[in-house]
Chains A and B, each alone.
Chain A
Amino acid sequence: QKEVEQDPGPLSVPEGAIVSLNCTYSNSAFQYFMWYRQYSRKGPELLMYTYSSGNKEDGRFTAQVDKSSKYISLFIRDSQPSDSATYLCAMIGQAGTALIFGKGTTLSVSS
């Protein structure tokens, strides 16, 4: 079992839809959870950062962490065509030296 599992999709939704992206993980030492967005032929950019369990909201984006279930989610409200990208979850423990990434989910939002 890989440390971080993420459904690669692709996921296609119409403009305005609510999108739910998810990752599961196996290492209970992970405490810091991030979502990166990657456009085609570009490097990933940080979208959301969460420490431990709970929710964090930033505009149309909400990140949720459930450490008891080892499950994290990213919700996108009122999705836009500009949200079309690959979304990568990433996580690390306090003693870790490098982020562990999921494989990424490719999202396409059609107008």
Chain B
Amino acid sequence: GAGVSQSPSNKVTEKGKDVELRCDPISGHTALYWYRQSLGQGLEFLIYFQGNSAPDKSGLPSDRFSAERTGGSVSTLTIQRTQQEDSAVYLCASSRGRPDNSPLHFGNGTRLTVT
């Protein structure tokens, strides 16, 4: 079956513009995660959705970042007033349940460049 799909694969934007990144998880996966991967920094947790529960937003770096998940499926990560330090690969992952007993399936990411 299809894996996690992310779009766009690449995005170049000017500093100060807003961007939206999309994630289509694997069908039937209740959990969805956003991570950010910067050069030399590893994967940084941003936000976690589990079913209909309130999302865990503890990893969002500032109030310029927000995410929603509509109908328990597709998710959009929005970055407002982008800054150069937002340049990174944004990875989405989904799983059947909790991360301690359900492997995460990652998409190939959106490579964001802020000029």
- Taking Cβ atoms with an 8 Å cutoff, the residues of A that contact B are 6, 8, 31-32, 34, 41-46, 49, 88, 90, 92-94, 96-104
Contact = CB atoms under 8 A, between A and B. Distances in A.
B108 A98 contact: no
11 contacts: A34-B103, A43-B4, A90-B43, A96-B99, A96-B100, A97-B98, A97-B99, A98-B33, A99-B43, A101-B42, A102-B42
B70 interface: no
> Looking at chain B's contact residues, is the secondary structure mostly helix, strand, loop, or mixed?
loop
B109 A43 contact: yes
B65 interface: no
Nearest to B93: A43
A58 B56 CA distance: 33
A49 B109 contact: no
Contacts of A31: 100
